[in-house]
Amino acid sequence: MVAPSSDLSVLLINLLKSVHYRDADERQWASLLNLQARVRDYVAVLNLELVLDEAEGYAFLKSRPEAAEDEAAPRLPRLVARRPLSFAVSLLLALLRKKLAEFDAGGGQDAHAGRLVLALDDIVELVRVFLPDGSNETKLIDQIESTINKVTELGFLQKLKPAGGDAAGQAHFEVRRILKAFVDAQWLAEFDARLANYQSELAGVTPTQEGAQHA
């Protein structure tokens, strides 16, 4: 295979490192659209595939589906690891995904130009109603903030800079649209049943195992 050009090399390296967003670098996004066929060819050698959503403006690499056990092809090591998500993280992702669907259904128009932005208090309230009554308030908020930090680390939330340099103001987070690629429409359609499982777990009843994972 011919060595990749410098533009293609930059695209490949950046995609191997993280998700690429259109609004982060319009020029590189245009380059990705032009070179996407070559990107797909190169990453296929690494047993990866390119996921590119032009409408939502994001692209990332994921491992290709594993071959069936009866196939002769050797099993390759995974370059992109799968990580099991905790109950708290899974719950928050589900709630954010539903919030994003409601936002889009309402037209998605606000002061943030079609981006869903939530204040820290908004996210805390989303989760609070599913947690047991009588919990220590300070400890509860600390736990939720820890979960928010984990979801931010995973790339599904982005903490925004304070408006007007007001560092003392409440933190705000953008819900990144890549969440739609990990929590799909079919999963969302079963949201009520899943929440019933979550609430059963909180009440001490073992729910059906959902096995949420981040790829």
Find residue 118's DSSP bridge partners.
Answer: 173
Q: What is the pLDDT of residue 209?
A: 41
- Cα separation, 78 vs 67, whole angstroms: 13
Q: What is the pLDDT of residue 132?
A: 67
Asked whether 196 and 208 are in contact (CB, 8 A), the reply is no
83-214 — its CATH code? 1.10.10
Assign domain 6-63 to a CATH class. Answer: mainly alpha
Quick: pLDDT tens for 66-99. 654 445 555 555 555 566 778 888 889 989 998 9
> Would the CATH topology of 6-63 be identical to that of 83-214?
yes
Question: Quick check: 110 pLDDT over 80?
Answer: no
Residue bearing the bigger pLDDT, 15 or 140 = 15
Domain assignments of the chain as residue spans, ordered by start:
6-63, 83-214
pTM: predicted TM-score of the whole model, two decimal places: 0.72
- Cα separation, 123 vs 169, whole angstroms: 16
In one letter, which amino acid is 29?
Answer: W
- Report which of 45, 44, 39 is spatially closest to residue 59, judged by C-alpha positions: 39
Find residue 126's DSSP bridge partners.
Answer: none
